Amino acid sequence: MSHPHPELGPPPPLPDGGLRIVALGGLGEIGRNMAVFEYDGRLLVVDCGVLFPEPDQPGVDLILPDFEYIRNRLDDVEAVVLTHAHEDHIGAVPYLLRERRGIPLIGSRLTLALIEAKLTEHRIQPTKVEVIEGERRTFGPFDCEFLAVNHSIPDALAVAIRTPAGIVLHTGDFRMDQLPSDGRLTDLGGFARLGTEGVDLLMSDSTNAEVPGFVTSEREIGPVIDEVIRTSEQRVIVASFASHVHRIQQVMDAAAKHGRKVALVGRSMVRNMGVARDLGYLKVPPELIVDSRDIEEWPPEDVVLICTGSQGEPMAALSRMANRDHPIRIAEGDTVLLASSLVPGNETAVNKVINGLTRWGARVVHKGNAKVHVSGHAAAGELLYVLNLTRPSNFMPVHGEWRHLRAHAKLAALTGVPEDHIVIAEDGVVVDLVDGRAKIAGAVHAGYVYVDGSSVGEITDTSLKDRRILGDEGFISVVVVVDSNTGKLTAGPEIHARGSGIDPIQFDEFIPQIERALEEKAADGVVDMQEIRRVVRRTVGRWVSDTYRRRPMIIPVVLEV
């Protein structure tokens, strides 16, 4: 079982006839999925998604893959294959197309419609190639076959990539629901056929590799949602992913059955459901939908609201309702249904929202107290099934944190894949498929690129560290004026502090220490402004640490006269 090493260097040139795979995201994390395939100097990208920020990344809106590896080779990119339309697979496409607008986007009808709606907001008109399951299309040296997979969004696809180096099957995100609400099954027959032909490398979704058995069928959720709406005496507010068409359909069906009107709340929810309805993926009964701005005109017992915010996102509709920062006010007796699973890392934010909603008198129904969601990712039993169907010569787990990748690798070993043919990689690790063997060949840079408002890539890890310090410890600024010829103090020090928790009176007692430190440096002939700043920072930092056991950000301002 090969795995990355911290000291991996740049990869050598790709051998003739070899296929190179580099994941720029999605390995060791949930999100930011992006894989680059190279054959004979040409590139094929599979997915281009975003990662959502953690609480210790203040001010960050989105995290993108680092395109540096392909930035100088964008003209070599034949196409971007999009397996489905979740944000962690398509969210970074607008930022990639900013760098080369003409890259063809390959995907199913719904996937392309949702990404086009997103790109319209970025004023980008994409080049689209629509494909359906069972279809084969060639993009440069890459012969791609698309297979239907069942997931928590319609029209998801797996892709088999054929080159002279071999066949790679990339499952995308999938599950094996045998009674899907839309009747679209994962193409196990196609997987088996590829297994007979010979899968040289299987790259398979690892998100639920630690979960035993098979996932619950989507159809088991419908009766629970129906019961929640039937028994609720006032408004029902359902929070879901803005792309979960199946779940929204179940909510609408239950609302129509019980004579309630439905209002969609949140820009992405309105946009995505509009696209799904126009394409026929969402069946909306006549006169069911009402404008959210008119919702107060309807009796509470006749209303269902569907909104975003199931992951506790601070700016999403549900969080704002919990904080009483939204036109829709939670009232005593309302029912809030969180119809989604928890993305790892969001537990604290979601619990905070649940507490906020409960404070205002709402009954909150969630996965912890009712069966209101099933995962869109295959559990261990299903992953074993796919491994046995495809019988890959080499295996590479993808789409998951380290524990998920390791668990999936163990499943592959159980099915007979030799351990030295199992490749556990992380973002940036280069995997070459040469002569039927997949091996790690090196590594390239694949760091985080932060989106903060309109800036992309301008925020660094150092910037985030500064923000965390400011948020946790506050800051102290020290202004001094020195003679540029002698280095002697001519005015100040003047100290200002915010958020440090230190009484300003205490600074008056400390100022003589700064003066003495600067006098000593001036006596030594130090006139370098950088060195004087360092003296001020060290002196203040040592005093604050010794006196208060705190580490605020210290900003020395040295003016010359």
**SS3 of 175, please?**
strand
Residue of 170, 246, 366, 377 marked active site: 377
Q: Give the count of beta carbons closer than 10 Å to the beta carbon of residue 180.
A: 18
Residue numbering of the annotated binding site for Zn(2+): 84, 86, 88-89, 151, 173, 399
Q: Is 205 a known active-site residue?
A: yes
Positions at the binding site: 59, 61, 84, 86, 88-89, 151, 173, 242-244, 373-377, 399, 452
435-438 contact pairs (CB < 8 A, 24+) = 435/17, 435/18, 436/166, 436/200, 436/393, 436/394, 437/394, 438/200, 438/201, 438/394, 438/396
In the residue annotation, 377 being an active-site residue is answered as yes
Is the previous residue joined to 397 through a cis bond, with omega within 30 degrees of 0? Answer: no
Q: How far apart are CA 52 and CA 558, in angstroms?
A: 39
Numbered residues of the known binding site for substrate: 242-244, 373-377
Question: In a 10 Å sphere around its CB, with 0-12 CB exposed, 13-18 middle and 19+ buried, how is residue 511 labelled?
Answer: middle
Of how many residues is the chain composed? 561
Of the residues 205, 253, 427, 432, only one is catalytic, namely 205
Using CA atoms, how far apart are residues 488 and 137, in angstroms rounded to an integer? 75
Q: Taking CA 100 as the corner, what is the angle to CA 267 and CA 87, rounded to the nearest 5 degrees? A: 30
Q: How far is CA 161 from CA 51, 140, 203, 400, 527, in A?
A: 25, 12, 11, 21, 65
Binding residues for Ca(2+): 59, 61, 452
**Token pair recorded at residue 453:** 């408002």
Strands 77-81 and 62-64, bridge-based pairing? unpaired
Distance of alpha carbon 82 from alpha carbon 112, whole angstroms: 8
Cβ count within 10 A of residue 78: 20
Catalytic residues: 205, 377
